[in-house]
Homo-oligomer: A and B are copies of this chain.
Amino acid sequence: MSDHRALENLTVLDLTRVLAGPFCTMMLADMGADVIKIEMPGTGDDTRSYPPFRENKNGVRESLYFANINRNKRGVTLNLKTPEGKELFLRMVKSADVVIENYRPGVMDRLGLGYEELRQVNPRIIYAAVSGFGSYGPYHLRPGYDILAQAMGGMMAITGPAGGGPTRAGSALGDILGGLHVTIGILAAVNARAITGQGQRVDVSLMDSVIAATENTALKYLESGQVPPRMGNRYAAVSPYDGFRCRDGVVIVACGNQKLFGKLCTEILEQPQLAADPRFADMTGRLEHQDDLKELIEAWLADKTMAQAAEILLAHGIPAGPILDVSQILDDPHVKEREMFVRTEHPTLGEVTVNGCAVKLMGTPAAVRAPAPALGQDNEAVFSALGLSPAELAALKEKNVF
Q: Chain A residues in contact with chain B, CB under 8 A?
A: 2, 4-10, 19, 23, 27, 31, 50-54, 64-65, 68-69, 133-134, 136-139, 142-145, 147-148, 151-161, 164-173, 175-177, 180-185, 187-192, 194-196, 198-205, 207-209, 211-224, 227-228, 230-233, 235-237, 241-243, 250, 252, 254, 256, 314, 317, 319-327, 329-330, 332-335, 337-338, 340-341, 353-364
Question: Are A340 and B211 neighbours in the complex by a CB distance under 8 Å?
Answer: yes
Q: Which residue of the partner chain, among B250, B338, B362, contacts A208 with CB atoms under 8 Å?
A: B338
The CA of A100 and the CA of B209, in the complex, are separated in Å by: 23
Known: A338-B205, A363-B201. A153 touches B329 (CB 8 A): yes
The CA of A188 and the CA of B364, in the complex, are separated in Å by: 10
Question: Are B237 and A171 neighbours in the complex by a CB distance under 8 Å?
Answer: no
Q: How many chain copies?
A: 2
Residues of B within 8 A of A362 (CB): 200-203
Residues of B within 8 A of A157 (CB): 170, 323-326
Known: A7-B192, A223-B54, A340-B211. A154 touches B201 (CB 8 A): no
Residues of B within 8 A of A235 (CB): 147
**Given A138-B334, A222-B330, 5 more contacts at CB 8 Å?**
A50-B237, A185-B361, A216-B355, A218-B326, A220-B326
Known: A233-B167, A314-B142. A359 touches B158 (CB 8 A): no
Most chain B Cβ neighbours within 10 Å, of A54, A137, A170, A202:
A170
Question: Are A359 and B185 neighbours in the complex by a CB distance under 8 Å?
Answer: yes
Q: Can you list 6 A-B contacts (CB < 8 A)?
A: A65-B219, A148-B252, A152-B329, A157-B324, A168-B233, A218-B353
Question: Are B325 and A213 neighbours in the complex by a CB distance under 8 Å?
Answer: no
The CA of A87 and the CA of B248, in the complex, are separated in Å by: 52
The CA of A214 and the CA of B354, in the complex, are separated in Å by: 12
